[in-house]
Amino acid sequence: MVQKILNKVVGTKYISILRTWVPNMIGWGTVGGVALVHFTDWRIILDYVPYINGKFKSDE
């Protein structure tokens, strides 16, 4: 169903090109996310992760 709609809008050629690029985009997105956490204040970002949030509670 979804593939038929995409074929009408985008075309078969571009769908096949997109399928080959998806793993590459996922990989670079992951690298970019890790770099963002590494080069910014990691506590601000990791405070939103439930498992890690409780580990670094301060007694303020």
Does residue 59 carry a pLDDT above 80?
A: no
Q: Convert the pLDDT of each residue in 1-36 to its tens digit.
A: 777 887 888 888 888 888 899 999 999 999 999 898
Q: Is the pTM for the entire model greater than 0.75?
A: no
Structure confidence at residue 14 (pLDDT): 86
**Contacting residues for 47 by C-beta, under 8 A, at least 6 apart:** 53, 56
Give the residue with greater pLDDT, 28 vs 44.
28
Whole-angstrom CA distances from 26 to 6, 14, 29, 35, 50 are 21, 18, 5, 14, 23
Does residue 56 carry a pLDDT above 80?
A: no
Show me where the domains of the chain are located.
Answer: 2-55
